[in-house]
Chain A
Amino acid sequence: MAERPAPLDRPEFERASVGKASTADVARPLSMAEQLANVDPVRKFTVLLGAIVVWELYTRLAKVPPLIFPTFQDTVVALWKGFTQYDLASQIWASMGILMAGYAIGIVIGAALSFIAVSSRFGSDVLGTLTSMLNPLPAVALLPLAMIWFGLGAKSLVFVLLHSIVWPVALNTHTGFMSVPEPLRMVGRNYGLRNIRYVAKLLVPAAFPSILAGLKLGWAFAWRTLIASELIFGAAAEGGGLGWFIFASRNEMDIPGAFAGLLTVILIGFLVENVIFRNVEQRTVVRWGMQS
């Protein structure tokens, strides 16, 4: 071990006051505009307004023919006309009624399948094989078959919707159930929970983030399938609904009408995804601290 050098003696010293810092404006209150720009909804609305202004200006200044790309104003007028003259409200009602029916039945079937799967290993195998085969099959592809089996009515639409909802819901619910940690399961068994009560009181709340993800995915697939099948129905027969409205408007070269239909589709999708599902999330998984 080398010898340590002795510590140096430094002279004591005292500093005079450094004086006030010359940097101005250490903390400055934000201006009104800056404060506004920090509010999220304000910025988003500005973006939306900007997009609309650009759309209107582009179509007006570049004189895009309305048959190719109508102005925003035309679209709004067409939307108004759709509601007042072309019965758009009842078309929406027709679409949503079928969607709701399919969604409700689909959830029941999905829940039943996952209950069977969670109660025995063989059931789990059956569900696993079925979902891995049928989940990647686009539901619309079954539409021609459904039309042969059930005719051109609402029945074949519901059948196709069922197919698009059941598999994602069942798959996500089952994976959710499988990944419930063992301690939680043991707590449930300790309380003497069995069968339905075990599933309802323990597995469902514990796997809720995954179940909700399945429900959202099922909705997304169902919504897409519904619009697609209505477009095909529109092509193959005189159907009804939003997709048909878009298709019919386009066929009559009423392009503002088609844009109005698209706008309605966007609005409904936005409402369901960002209002309904967001609310359910806030009240369940976010509140329970399972998801931020």
Chain B
Amino acid sequence: MLLGLFSSGAPGAERPAGEFSAPQRDYILACGGCHGLQGVSNANLVPSLQGLVGYFLNLPEGRAYLPRLPNIAFSTLDDEQLAAVLNYMVFDIGAGSAPAAARPYGAAEVGELRKQPLTEVTLTAYRRQLVETLVSRYRAPVALRGYGAATP
């Protein structure tokens, strides 16, 4: 259907990149504009996720941190869809960064955590504190400090 629709266009006609799984599509629609379609962001603005975001699951506060981020907690997705997006983000986009024993997020867990959004903290300072622990104790790459930029 896709090819049929778009292959008849003029030279240089645009073709869609393809089909997405449901969590991948939801990630692209709600997160990908800033964090990048493959999780590589403009690191001056928002953190890169590719190969990095899973490190947060080394700490209980880090695991809770992701669903408590305001734009995740306030998402229009329901708990189950949101848990699926978080798992896609951590285990697919962040592949190789989560600890081997990390469990996937569950809908009930995400439902509880998103009721406690991180609205009463300075987010950048809160994140920096988590990242320092991850770098010093869990061998997270220093790139995590600078939102994924090469130099922290």
A binds B: no
Interface, chain A (partner B; CB < 8 A): none
Interface, chain B (partner A; CB < 8 A): none
